[in-house]
Structure 1
Amino acid sequence: MPVDHYENFPVASLLLPARLREPVEAIYAFARGADDVADEGDATTEIRLAGLQAFRDGLDRIARQEPPAAGALAPMFARLGKAVADHRLPLLPLYDLLDAFGQDVVKIRYTDFAELLDYCRRSANPVGRLLLHLYEATDEVSLRDSDRICSALQLINFWQDVAIDWRKPRIYLPADDMARFGVTEADIAAARCDERWRALLAFQVGRAREMMLQGAPLAHRLPGRIGWELRLIVQGGLRILEGIEAAGYDVFRRRPELGRADWLRIGWRALLSRPRSSGSTHVQGQG
């Protein structure tokens, strides 16, 4: 479960029931394809936004129960349309994803954490909500905890990718937090990992960890293999945060990634983890 791109989320894992692998793959293909339009290559802003509009048009056709328009995207939308129809999936989360990807094209700075969380609400949370619809677990508490896990995964991705995002050139660190800790854009440009930077990133790592642990009880409420899938995702995200800390918060020179030894530790922790009440900030098995 590398915390990177849309691999933040379970993608047709062997732990998933076979009947759910196809719709999960269809959702992933849509999200990954649209994200690549917004973020990959050297296309102009106009071309990226036009590409995302083609994805919106495809969703509109699904909403009208029309076949996909002819073209390169037709197979992907045919697959997605079948998943939507077969599992009665809501389309709003898919539109939210496109809204977030469009925002990424034109917005490269965030004023405060609330603004960043609003982005996460549309860029990450929709995937978790769609998966809960597939699992038929759409009660209010499950949706809330899923949002916490998905937003935490998005934040973890931001903190491990500060240097990568700077080259785009984006900064997801909230501007008010940067000012409070005395970190400037010039510091990021210079890859300056001093006490100010370490304090800022330690604060953000703590935020992401708390959010992840608050959502973690969902992994124990979901049944069978689905729950195990989510436990591994939670532990993988927490392990990335430990990697950031182990690197002394110097994500400029050492981007934390999960290796074989990490996977063994993640599996062990998932096995030992115990359910806690929602809102708890402690999960057993963190040794």
Structure 2
Amino acid sequence: MSDLSSGKGHRDENFPVASFLLKPEHRAPIMAFYRFARAADDIADHAEALETEKLRLLGEMRAGLAGNGAPEAMALAKVAHERQLDLVHAHELLDAFTQDVMQRRYADWDALIAYCRLSAVPVGRFVLDVHGEDRSTWPLSDALCAALQVINHLQDCGEDYRDIDRVYVPLDALAEAGIGVEALGESRASPALRQVIAQLAGRTQGLLAQSAPFASAVGDRRLSAEVAVIQAQAEDLARLLTRRDPLSEPVHHSKLRMGSVAIQALLRHWFAGDRA
């Protein structure tokens, strides 16, 4: 597509992407959506590309959804046509990545969640559409996807500020703690910033409490299992962020921890009788 690729793939993400838990026939369209999203995300997050170049390339992504543009978008459009899937979710993602290029700060929690509505929520809704799930499950999915996005932002808050001058930590939370965005550029978080991160992680736990029934509400047994795993991993990371400093301490899962949380989640899910 472009020379702005980060080289990051689905195995590098914090949470499972089209894992073996899903039926093979569902993994292909989800991977097409992932490759589209990864390409667009790499454009928006590139540290050196000019804003005009980013917007031009994102325009090529949008044109590809109509059949003549970036190859990742054209591939997704082809799959969507074959499966009769709505491309509105892909267009909303592009709206989010365009916003990333144009906006570097978020005033408050509501503004951050409004951004998550475009940057994360469409992913869950697309996955549900692929599986033919009832759209009554969307609110539960929305809460989980927003939580996953906020977790990512908290984990990477220092890197985002230093590398691309982007701050997702709400400005009003920083101001209330008596600090500015510059605090994110330190090698270690101040006590005030630690308190802000912990408070935001606590609000994220509130989103996860809303999404807790999601796995049981999903009709597809294998998707239900993947949702249970993702929910458990998100809960574990949110707890970690209430206690650790993302500027100086590990706040991502190791492969071992990720596997351990996943196995425990699956055992709880199956033996609790969530899926017959």
**TM category, shorter:** 0.7 to 0.9
Q: 1:275 to 1:95 in 2, by over 3 A?
A: farther
* Distance of 2:198 and 2:60 partners within structure 1: 40
One-letter identity of the residue aligned with 2:38: R
2:141 is matched with 146
* Distance of 1:229 and 1:239 partners within structure 2: 15
One-letter identity of the residue aligned with 1:226: L
2:167 is paired with a residue of what secondary structure?
coil
Q: 1:53 to 1:130 in 2, by over 3 A?
A: same
1:238-286 CA distance string (max 9 Å, x none) = 2222332342xx111124121203421332134225599xxxxxxxxxx
* Match status 1:244 vs 2:232: no
Question: Where does the alignment leave 5 or more consecutive residues of structure 2 unmatched?
Answer: 1-9
Q: 1:5 to 1:203 in 2, by over 3 A?
A: farther
| Count of residues paired in the alignment | 260
One-letter identity of the residue aligned with 2:234: G
Q: CA deviation at 1:212?
A: 1.5
2:251 is matched with 256
One-letter identity of the residue aligned with 1:55: M
* Match status 1:119 vs 2:115: yes
1:92 is matched with 88
* Distance of 1:113 and 1:41 partners within structure 2: 25
* Match status 1:219 vs 2:215: yes
Q: CA deviation at 1:135?
A: 1.2
2:22 is matched with 16
One-letter identity of the residue aligned with 1:240: L
2:50 is matched with 44
One-letter identity of the residue aligned with 2:184: I
Q: CA deviation at 1:173?
A: 0.9
Q: 1:145 to 1:131 in 2, by over 3 A?
A: same
Q: Which of 45-54 and 87-96 deviates more?
A: 87-96
One-letter identity of the residue aligned with 2:251: P
Q: 1:198 to 1:275 in 2, by over 3 A?
A: farther
Q: Do the aligned partners of 1:6 and 1:31 also contact (CA within 8 Å) in 2?
A: no
Q: Segments of 4+ in structure 1 off by > 3 A?
A: 273-276
Q: CA deviation at 1:5?
A: 10
Q: Do the aligned partners of 1:239 and 1:266 also contact (CA within 8 Å) in 2?
A: no
1:184-241 CA distance string (max 9 Å, x none) = 2232233453332222111100111110121121112223111111111111112222
* Distance of 1:148 and 1:26 partners within structure 2: 23
1:89-127 CA distance string (max 9 Å, x none) = 111111110011011112111111111111100000001
Matches within 5 A, 1:186-225: 186-222=182-218, 223-225=220-222
* Distance of 1:206 and 1:59 partners within structure 2: 38
Q: Do the aligned partners of 1:23 and 1:83 also contact (CA within 8 Å) in 2?
A: yes
RMSD of aligned C-alpha atoms? 2.2
2:172 is matched with 176
Q: 1:37 to 1:21 in 2, by over 3 A?
A: same
Q: 1:5 to 1:22 in 2, by over 3 A?
A: closer
* Distance of 2:79 and 2:89 partners within structure 1: 14
Q: 1:239 to 1:216 in 2, by over 3 A?
A: same
One-letter identity of the residue aligned with 2:222: R
**1:185 pairs with one of 164, 181, 185:** 181
* Distance of 1:170 and 1:5 partners within structure 2: 25
* Distance of 1:15 and 1:170 partners within structure 2: 35
* Match status 1:57 vs 2:63: yes
Instruction: Work out the percentage of aligned pairs sharing the same amino acid.
Output: 33
